[in-house]
Structure 1
């Protein structure tokens, strides 16, 4: 006989679990759908984030510049010390040869003391420490030994100095590499954000940037402010000749610049040497705290950590290399947090 048993029904618990899971999945899908439009930032939000990254990159750039400047200075100092050591070693060899010739002459005449023979194969420092020996040496030999001892001490100090500087150089090179990576990382993040924009949004941003550059180069009103000095004016005019040159981190001319690279290059054209980085330029002259006291050619320092610098151009305008993606141009002094001016 055929079985008349009823099919087994799914349990209420299993149905409830399945229903709950399905509902949760639907809810998550709805949330994702609703959230999707807001996940992509707007053009203005991207621009704000990119500007922040560019500012962070510029902060790292000034630290990179400082490490690079220190590296170059250390390399020159090490080269000088090593040259001094080489020359000192030659002088020491000549002194030893001279003393050896005196001792040989005494030996041939039968007048050399055994202690002098001992000296010829030992350290002069140890020999000079024995005062009784000096009575058995001629005044000429004593003078030669003293010179040898002084030269040896001088060479030891120079070699220790060179060793310390080489260690410092290795540390500086490591710091330089880290700052370079930091700058490149920030610029890479900014570029990634820019790449997320649509073609139309990219074009709109490019037009905004082009408009800012055109207006600063062609229609800026500098007024009739007086120059701070003849050399400040000469530096300012040198910077003016570079309007339109691209900002490149770590660059100091003549075809591209970062902010402190422009100001240090411009003053160099006026025959004036100033430090390379903005934080040091902030201490290179007399500080001017009131914007109303600024004169054309004064340096203008921005941000609390003093990481940006430009020239005061007159009528509330500065001439500077703003950031990556821009060129040397005029901008309102109010676009950045003013700290003080510096009159060189």
Structure 2
């Protein structure tokens, strides 16, 4: 997340270090007690710690997104399975009622010895017709009973499957809560460290975080590989300036993978929720062949993603406190480029 500020040679860190040197020299010249190199190092370390915490929080955010997506899928599966079970239970209830009626009719018709019934019958022909029908009812009865047994076995299997899904869903909910606590703890520690910086250092860090680099060139004239990529890039550009909100996928705020997912959704294309899954949402191309709309994945674990915008730049949601913005494509180590 924030680690790219250490990798960009013209970023905040170099300017901050130069400012410290100038202030130290001026203080020495006027005989003041300087906040010299000994105090500059802890400040640099603090900024590095903040960057590291933001990076760890982003990894936890993507883990949260994955667990949350899994929980959503499981909830949908459980809901569909419960609907199927309810319909099957209704069918079984109807089959039981029908079998009960058949059994009652058979009992009433077969309760007297058939030969005696024939002797007592006023119309032997009518009796024989009814006896033949009863045989057919008995055969149908047996078939219905077999159907009922099969339906009940199938229902029992489905109930067991739903029980397993519910247990898995509970585990996913627990994972979501755990990752959420991790993210919040990392971000709280980062804010605490930022608040420990001197006012001028904190203000400079905040300006760098909120405005990005002012010296970036325009995105250039590179053309997207197709209309879909062009539409996704246009959507990402429309989100410039929106805040980073961890776990969010628009439209009011975004995390890194949420921005990419939302942008391609505006182009009519569904993408997975996490940056790790987005890495495999298309074919891999070399960074040297990146075109506008391509997904640029960062770090070996693909825990950050941006959208290539042309002219060596990406649009991305960097980290808390920094809005959706342009940054150099090489702001941090690139692991792969995916063309959706």
TM-score (norm 2): 0.79
Alignment of 1:98-109 (within 5 A): 98-109=98-109
Match of 1:283 among 272, 280, 285: 280
Moved >4 Å (runs of 4+): 37-41
Residues 147-158 of structure 1 mapped to structure 2, 5 A cutoff: 147-158=147-158
Structure 2 counterpart of 1:339: 335
Q: Contact 1:220–1:330 (CA<8 Å) still a contact in 2?
A: no
Residue in structure 2 matched with residue 258 of structure 1 by the alignment:
255
Taking a change above 3 Å as real, the CA distance of residues 211 and 69 of structure 1, as seen in their structure-2 partners, is closer
- Identify the residue that residue 88 of structure 1 maps to in structure 2: 88
- Deviation string 1:253-272 (CA, Å, 9 cap, x unpaired) is 00100000000011111111
Find the counterpart in structure 2 of residue 203 from structure 1. 203
Structure 2 equivalent of residue 292 of structure 1: 288
Aligned pair partner of 1:313 in 290, 309, 315? 309
Distance in 2 between the 1:259 and 1:302 partners? 11
> How far apart, in 2, do the equivalents of 1:112 and 1:308 lie?
82
**Structure 2: how far apart are the matches of 1:62 and 1:270?**
23
User: d(CA) in 2 for partners of 1:79 and 1:151?
Assistant: 20
For the structure 1 residues 265 and 211, does the alpha-carbon distance in structure 2 shift closer, same or farther, using more than 3 Å as the test? closer
* Structure 1 Cα separation of the partners of residues 40 and 153 of structure 2: 69
1:203-231 CA distance string (max 9 Å, x none): 22223334426x28xx6411221202111
| Equivalent position SS for 2:110 | coil
Quick check: 1:269 aligned with 2:266? Answer: yes
Q: Secondary structure at the match of 1:335?
A: coil
Alignment of 1:55-204 (within 5 A): 55-110=55-110, 138-204=138-204
Cα deviation, 1:179-215, whole Å, max 9, x if unaligned, reads 01110111111111111112222122223334426x2
Report the alpha carbon displacement of residue 38 of structure 1 after superposing the two structures with TM: 5.1
Report the RMSD for the aligned CA atoms in angstroms.
2.1
Q: 1:286 to 1:112 in 2, by over 3 A?
A: farther
Moved more, 204-213 or 164-173: 204-213
Cα distance change of structure 1 residues 136 and 112 upon mapping to structure 2, 3 Å threshold: farther
How many equivalent pairs are there?
A: 283
Larger relative contact order (Cα-Cα within 8 Å, sequence gap ≥ 6): 2
1:237 maps onto 2:239 in alignment: no
Post-superposition offset of 1:324: 1.5
- Tell me, what secondary structure is at the counterpart of 1:296? coil
Deviations 1:62-95 (A, max 9, x none): 0000000001111111111111111111100100
- TM-fit CA distance, 1:41: 5.3
TM-score, normalised via structure 1 length: 0.78
Partners of 1:103 and 1:112 within 8 A in 2: no
TM-superposed CA distance for 1:232, in Å, is 1.0
- 1:7-61 Cα offsets, whole Å, 9 max, x none, are xxxxxxxxxxxxxxxxxxxxxxxxxxxxxx9588543322111011100000000
Distance 2:190 2:263 in 1: 29
* Alignment-derived partner of residue 116 in structure 2: none
Q: Which runs of 5+ in 2 are unaligned?
A: 1-36, 114-134
> Any idea what SS the aligned residue of 1:324 has?
coil
Q: Which structure has the larger Rg?
A: 1
For 2:320 and 2:225, locate their aligned partners in 1 and report how far apart those are by CA, in whole Å: 29
